[in-house]
């Protein structure tokens, strides 16, 4: 059996598929939610979940939470003499879930589909996969949380073409994803988010309001007192979900401190967070090329979306009530279990064609000529843009930067900064070129990115046809070199530009011919529609290609019929 896991910042869940539906597996305490908290005592005894969360109040120095935010960063958490990385702590939570699931189901579980925020970069996804394998799972598939949510809501079963926005605000991360159902394919059009924004930040707002009210400098307090204040702030935040006012009470150095907080004051203080939430929404809409009015449905995911403040904000922003038919805490785990059932080819589940996007831009470092004529190295050149549907292949032509240059170094980078050094270094490839004057010797660089986080970079010297290739893969990916080669042979067709596909070439040639044969407004309109079609081809946008192709064909047919 393959299980689905939502490895969350605040809580984690494990699920399975049975009798035609996904079900949450309760933990040993009978709860569906297991707090993502780990505590380790001096003897090395490990506590996970609710017990660890309770122990945090008395032993904060031996307890860690919110470590999901540090996945893939190399950050080390110290527990006295014990030291752990974020993925190792995550593996302890996953091991706990695995043991509970095996006890509940009465069988050994070897494989899991684990969800991650759509905005997780390659290092964070690798860390998540490693955490699963450290816990004893075979993890072949990582699923993006919004994709899992879309599956859980059955959006893939809609009959008409439609666009959805998944608003995923968890304990520590925020994702917004735009998905489109198009010809029975569920396609992720754009993702954006903030890996350091979530329900914990709303709790911190309450905490800061309390500290300001009593003019308390938290740096003067011991760790145990800080944890106590944080817990009371969390309780106050949750009470404001049901009441207009609440009383937050804390004991600091044996002295009681009370603070009455109103919902209006809390919402005013949250405006800075709501502004931060709005930015990724706007960015994802811009990247997807759609407007808010184009979104057919907004789905809320993540425990923090249960806050009335958040729900009112989303309703006001989109001018409609969001869909909350499934418990926001459980929807991702349900989707992950359904994805696991698809992977098992469960007869009760119709396999859905899902596409994902590359969440970060992939590119290389180049030398450019500035406006003042000075040549400057270290500029970032995007090759595969963020939010490109994967699998994908892109080719660019680069030239030698100086006279008699005999080698070209292609640095493989991931990120969004225009400065190459500010992006994530993935690898490099060096190829020899014939010495020639500056800018005379071209090389073609092809990036091909796959759903398994495989990146193939190929460099070919145009004049000599010499070629070099490197594959950058997830270090925990269980694929042999032969399997990887076979995979990229399957993707060979992707390396053909849409312009080079026979039917598109034929339409472009037809359009060019009719442009030459016509005059006046008709010629201008043909030129306009040709430019739209070529623009869609250059962006590899399947929806726009289909749309502009039909428009161009229709107009050319109309012109020819009018001449008869």
User: Which residues participate in catalysis according to the annotation?
Assistant: 6, 68, 145, 168
Alpha helix segments (H runs only) across 292-445:
308-318, 331-343
Cα 297 to Cα 144, 235, 275, 280: the distances in Å are 19, 32, 21, 17
75 SS3 class:
coil
Closest CA to 208 of 155, 287, 268: 268
Q: Using CA atoms in the order 148, 150, 152, 158, what is the torsion angle rounded to 10 degrees?
A: -150
- Nearest-angstrom CA–CA distance, 329 and 115: 13
In 165-324, alpha helices (H): 199-213, 223-239, 263-269, 271-288, 308-318
Gap between the Cα atoms of 348 and 346, Å rounded: 5
Reading the block at residue 162, the tokens are: 């439609």
Grouping H, G, I as helix, E, B as strand and the rest as coil, residue 236 is helix
Cα separation, 38 vs 526, whole angstroms: 65
Q: Per DSSP, what are the bridge partners of residue 390?
A: 356
Contact 274, 313 (CB under 8 A): yes
How distant, in Å, are the alpha carbons of 102, 508, 519, 521, 522 from that of 512? 65, 6, 13, 15, 13
Cβ burial, residue 203 (10 Å; 0-12/13-18/19+): buried
Distance in angstroms (rounded) separating the CA atoms of residues 416 and 419: 9
Q: Distances in Å between the alpha carbon of 204 and those of 139, 168, 170, 276?
A: 35, 19, 15, 15
């Amino acid at each position: 059996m393959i299980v689905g896991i939502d490895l969350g910042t605040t809580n984690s869940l494990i699920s399975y598929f049975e009798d035609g539906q996904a079900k949450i597996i309760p933990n040993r305490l009978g709860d569906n939610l297991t707090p993502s908290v780990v505590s380790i005592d001096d003897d090395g005894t490990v506590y996970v979940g609710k017990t660890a969360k309770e122990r945090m109040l008395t032993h904060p120095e031996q307890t860690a939470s919110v470590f999901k935010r540090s996945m893939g960063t190399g950050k080390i958490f110290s527990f006295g003499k014990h030291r752990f990385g974020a993925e190792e702590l995550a593996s302890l939570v996953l091991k706990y879930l695995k043991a509970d699931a095996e006890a509940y189901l009465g069988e050994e579980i070897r494989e899991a589909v684990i969800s991650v925020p759509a905005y997780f970069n390659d290092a964070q996804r690798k860390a998540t996969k490693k955490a699963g394998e450290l816990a004893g799972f075979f993890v072949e598939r990582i699923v993006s949380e919004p994709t899992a949510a879309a599956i859980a809501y059955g959006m893939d079963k809609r009959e008409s073409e439609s666009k959805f926005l998944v608003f995923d605000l968890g304990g520590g991360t925020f994702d917004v994803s735009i998905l489109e159902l198009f010809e029975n394919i569920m396609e992720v059009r754009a993702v954006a988010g903030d890996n350091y924004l979530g329900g914990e930040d709303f709790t911190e707002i309450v905490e800061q309001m309390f500290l300001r009210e009593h003019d308390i400098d938290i740096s003067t307090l011991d760790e145990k007192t800080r944890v106590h204040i944080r817990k009371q702030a969390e309780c106050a935040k949750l009470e404001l979900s049901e009441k207009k006012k609440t009383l937050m009470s804390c004991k600091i150095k044996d002295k009681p401190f009370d603070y009455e907080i109103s919902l209006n004051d809390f919402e005013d203080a949250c405006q800075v967070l709501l502004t931060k939430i709005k930015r990724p929404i706007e960015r994802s809409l811009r990247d997807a090329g759609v407007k808010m009015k184009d979104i057919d449905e907004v789905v809320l995911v993540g425990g923090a979306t249960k806050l009335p403040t958040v729900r009112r904000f989303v309703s006001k922003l989109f001018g409609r009530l969001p869909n909350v038919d499934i418990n926001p805490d459980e929807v991702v785990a349900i989707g992950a279990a359904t994805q696991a059932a698809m992977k098992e080819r469960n007869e009760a589940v119709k396999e859905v064609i899902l596409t994902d996007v590359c969440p970060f831009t992939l590119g290389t470092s180049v030398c450019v000529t500035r406006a003042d004529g000075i040549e400057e190295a270290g500029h970032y050149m995007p090759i595969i843009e963020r939010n490109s549907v994967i699998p994908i292949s892109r080719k660019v032509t680069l030239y030698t930067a100086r006279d008699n240059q005999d080698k070209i170094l292609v640095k493989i980078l991931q990120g969004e900064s225009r400065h190459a050094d500010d992006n994530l270094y993935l690898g490099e490839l060096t190829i020899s070129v014939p010495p020639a004057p500056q800018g005379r010797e071209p090389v073609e660089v092809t990036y091909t990115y796959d759903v398994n986080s495989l990146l193939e970079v190929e460099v070919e010297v145009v004049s000599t046809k010499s070629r070099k290739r490197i594959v950058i893969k997830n270090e925990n990916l269980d694929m042999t070199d032969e399997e990887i080669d076979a995979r990229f042979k399957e993707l060979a067709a992707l390396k053909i530009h849409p312009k080079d596909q026979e039917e598109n070439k034929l339409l472009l040639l037809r359009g060019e011919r009719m442009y030459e044969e016509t005059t006046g407004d008709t010629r201008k309109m043909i030129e306009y529609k040709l430019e739209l079609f070529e623009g869609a081809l250059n962006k590899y946008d399947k929806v726009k290609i289909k749309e502009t192709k039909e428009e161009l064909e229709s107009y050319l047919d109309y012109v020819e019929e009018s001449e008869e």
